[in-house]
Amino acid sequence: MNTPYPHEMTSLFAAKEARRQALAALPYEEKLRILLHLQRIADAIRQTRGLPPQAWPLDSDTLLPTKPSTPS
């Protein structure tokens, strides 16, 4: 059987699907930690542009809200 893609592309698509399945199988807590990490990366980019952060104020370990920082 001839596939429309070269073998390299077919294996790439299979790896992508396997990665999706692995991420889908993660517990919600781990998915939330990944989301927080991505939000903090985006915040670092936003801050270089002079924009305020927008990441959820949650602790990465406990997933509980962080205490608001008091200005000194």
What pLDDT is recorded for position 71?
59
> In which residue are the tokens 């305020």 written?
52
Please report, in tens digits, the pLDDT of each residue of the chain (72 residues total).
Answer: 566 888 889 999 999 999 999 999 999 999 999 999 999 999 999 999 999 999 999 998 898 998 776 555
CB 61, CB 49: distance < 8 Å: no
Question: 3-class DSSP state for residue 55?
Answer: coil
What pLDDT is recorded for position 8?
87
Q: How far apart are CA 21 and CA 11, in angstroms?
A: 15
